[in-house]
A = this chain, B = another copy of it.
Amino acid sequence: MDRYVNGKKTRMTPRRSSTRLESKELTRRALIRAALKLLSQNSFDSLSLREVTREAGVSPTAFYRHFDDMEELGLVLVEESFGSLGAMLKDARSQPAFDTDTIKRSLAVVVMHMHNHTPHFRFIARERYGGVRRLRRAINRELQLFADELAIDLVAMPHVAQWTTEDRRMLAGLLTETIIRMVAELLETGPDEEQEIVERTKCQLRLITLGVPAWNGRLRSTRV
């Protein structure tokens, strides 16, 4: 057998009926789960391959059957973290108008997703500015994709249809970052403060949208 057991027999032993492919997938999942668990406390560049394999109950050699190196495991975590969120947010703002209802729905989706994927979100919040350049880049690329999609959807917002692409991206970036900051703050605090933080973020998003009708373009801003 590929794997060795290391006192975690129950968790690691595949069901009798499992094929070799299933068993391989189980090991892969065990490695990912082990990494996520360790990353809830530590930053990625402080984590060694050996710690991950020990936590997963597999041999260091087995690790390389699944990932080239720790960075590849990190990139898989980035991919997983953003996987379903995009589609859900797209749904949340599928309404033609970007109004207070859309804000409320989008935040609810993000918060729910955060609760269902806390270790992933914590990993993203930490590694966005963490010590591993490839991970920072991958995370920022994904976040940029969000902002770009939002910038396109914002055309549906009154006034914004007439804006330049650049200004729409400016607005989308501000909205996206405000939501990211909320998530990062929620991850740092207890459930007692959740409602207050979400309410404050709703207010901030609403304040931003209130500025939209008064916006008179970037040209003037370059003279600021």
A contact set with B: CB distance below 8 Å:
41-46, 100-101, 103-104, 125-126, 128-131, 136, 140, 167, 170-171, 173-174, 177-178, 181, 184, 187-188, 199-200, 202-204, 206-215, 218, 221-222, 224
Contacts and interface: CB of A to CB of B under 8 A. Distances in A.
Contacts of A41: 131
Nearest to A195: B222
Given A203-B221, A210-B215, A128 B131 contact: no
Contacts of A203: 167, 170, 218, 221
B200 A173 contact: yes
A173 B204 contact: yes
Contacts of A206: 221, 224
Contacts of A130: 43, 126, 130
The complex is assembled from copies of this chain, and their number is 2
Q: Would you call the interface of chain A mostly helix, strand, loop, or mixed?
A: helix
B200 A170 contact: yes
A207 B170 CA distance: 10
Contact of A46 (B46, B174, B210, B214): B46
A106 to B, nearest CB: 12
B224 A104 contact: yes
26 contacts: A41-B131, A43-B43, A43-B46, A43-B131, A101-B224, A103-B224, A104-B224, A126-B131, A129-B187, A140-B188, A170-B200, A174-B204, A177-B178, A181-B181, A199-B222, A202-B221, A203-B218, A206-B221, A206-B224, A207-B211, A208-B211, A210-B211, A210-B214, A210-B215, A211-B212, A211-B214
Q: Which 3 A-B pairs have the closest CB atoms?
A: A211-B211, A46-B46, A210-B211
Given A45-B46, A126-B131, 9 more contacts: A42-B45, A42-B131, A43-B131, A129-B129, A130-B130, A140-B188, A173-B200, A210-B214, A211-B211
Nearest to A42: B131
Contacts of A199: 218, 221-222
